[in-house]
Amino acid sequence: MFAQLQPVATDPILGLMAAYKEDPNPNKVDLGVGVYKDEQGHTAVLKCVKEAEALRLKQEDSKTYIGMAGDLGFNAHIEKLAFGASHKVLLANRVTTAHTPGGTGALRVAAEFIKKANPNATIWVTNPTWANHISLFQAAGLKVKEYSYYDYSTKGLNEEAMFAELATVPAGDVVLVHACCHNPSGMDLTFAQWQRFTDLAKARGFTPLVDMAYQGFGEGLDEDARGLRYLAEQVEEMILCSSCSKNFGLYRERIGAVSVVAADSKIADVAKVNLLSVVRSIYSMPPAHGAIIVANILNSQELTALWHQELAEMRNRINSYRQLIIDKLAAEGVTQDFSFITRQHGMFSFLGINKAQIDRLRSEFSIYMVGSSRVSIAGLNHSNIDYFAKAVATVLKD
Ligand code: LMR
């Protein structure tokens, strides 16, 4: 039977990560996967995580099953973090949350849940979107369509095309929107655009699915959730998938959450049993470790303050490189306008260079970025920024 298998393409992001690891060039630069790196190029464990983990080791007194919804303390915290502590959907018990193995797990559970609610639903994703969205939803049996989002010529949002296309989405379909730090373009909706999106969701009756993988990496924890909080105030139902990979630096612990917002608490109760039956049939229960680390941090004022500080350091370091890239490219004699980099948010920037230039950067300079020209800015530091700028200038000039 296995002899019938056909080879499949490697995931464009994870494939890049493996190729980078194998590259022997001492000057290699990893701008591929969305993982934070410090000035030393290291992805350190956050101090708040180390402390919360030590607490966990001391306090943990059982390894019994955690239950399908995962850690309830974590779930309560993550809802407050996303929606804000006194959001009306929380006060009205309209939200049900399950902690999941990473943001990807949250998206897969959401997809299976959508299929239960409406087997004919199409999910609409931004063009472009995170490389894994489309295959993940298709693997769950959902139809996927794209809507215009990024305009490669203006290096901004393709607002009119986007809203014109969303105005054709029928009730019963689902529209995925990135809460902040759009992956891969870094181009986010303004608050006015969130309002316009919300009006359309209400008028058309489609269900929004908000993917929030980078809360705190754009402008701040509350600022990055402003659009989704407004949306949740206005619509009857929506789904939120969140991740603690980036903002808590818990990548390999695989910790995320799926939250379903229903029209009232009774529907939320029914949504909950459906959500849990999806969980049961995929992985039964999530692993506990990452969730309890996050809960320990958010249970403690001191550790929460430390987390805020460490998150701000990561955000500010990335943001400080946005202008630096522009300045360094200009210093290398590049005349093209790269000012759009400062209008993008989060871990990524779309450089807007072509495939041949991206390939050359990799083959001649060992600079790795995703084929869309998505650059994970956190991979830059004071030791490699000049090398990077020189290399980009070289491929742009030739
Ligand atoms: C990315 O987009 O680089 C990250 O979300 C990591 C991944 O799993 O693709």
pLDDT at 72 over 90: yes
Q: Degrees (nearest 5) of the Cα angle 72, 77, 78? A: 95
Helix axes 131-139, 102-117, angle to 10 degrees: 40
Q: Are 52 and 268 in contact (CB under 8 A)?
A: no
pLDDT at 38: 97
Please give the domain boundaries of the chain with CATH numbers for all domains: 12-46+303-397 (3.90.1150.10), 65-299 (3.40.640.10)
Residue carrying the six token digits 């309830």: 72
Write the ipTM: 0.95
Report the pLDDT averaged over residues 150-170: 97
**For 85, what's the count of Cα atoms within 13 Å in the CB-facing half-sphere?**
1
Q: Over pLDDT 90: what percentage of the chain?
A: 98
Cα–ligand 1 centroid distance for 165 (angstroms): 27
284 to 67, 75, 109, 239: CA distances (angstroms): 8, 17, 11, 21
**Cβ of 245 below 6 Å from ligand 1:** no
> Which atom from ligand 1 is nearest to the alpha carbon of 183?
2
Task: Give the E-state strand segments of 221-366 in sequence order.
Answer: 238-243, 256-261, 348-350
pLDDT in tens, 363-390: 999 999 999 999 999 999 999 999 999 9
The rounded distance, in Å, linking the Cα atoms of 390 and 375 is 16
Q: Are 124 and 173 in contact (CB under 8 A)?
A: yes
Mean pLDDT score of the chain, rounded to an integer? 97
pLDDT at 62: 96
pLDDT at 268: 98
4: tokens are 């019938």
Cα–ligand 1 centroid distance for 34 (angstroms): 5
Q: Over pLDDT 70: what percentage of the chain?
A: 100
Q: Which one of 16, 20, 33, 134 would you pick to mutate in the ligand 1 pocket, going by the greatest count of ligand atoms within 8 A of its CB?
A: 33
The rounded distance, in Å, linking the Cα atoms of 322 and 32 is 16
pLDDT in tens, 240-274: 999 999 999 999 999 999 999 999 999 999 999 99
- What single-letter amino acid sits at 180? C
pLDDT in tens, 280-327: 999 999 999 999 999 999 999 999 999 999 999 999 999 999 999 999
- CA neighbor of 358 nearest in space, from 15, 350, 24: 350
List active site positions. Answer: 130, 211, 246
336: tokens are 């093209």
Q: Work out the pLDDT band at 239, boundaries 50, 70, 90.
A: very high
Q: Which residues pair with 367 in a beta bridge?
A: 29
H or E segment at 160? helix 159-166
Q: Work out the pLDDT band at 10, boundaries 50, 70, 90.
A: confident
Which residue minimizes the CA distance to atom 1 of ligand 1? 34
Q: Is 171 helix (H, G, I), strand (E, B) or coil?
A: coil
pLDDT at 136: 96
pLDDT at 398: 77
Q: Work out the pLDDT band at 275, boundaries 50, 70, 90.
A: very high
Q: Are 238 and 220 in contact (CB under 8 A)?
A: no
Report pTM: 0.96
- CA neighbor of 378 nearest in space, from 318, 309, 319, 322: 318
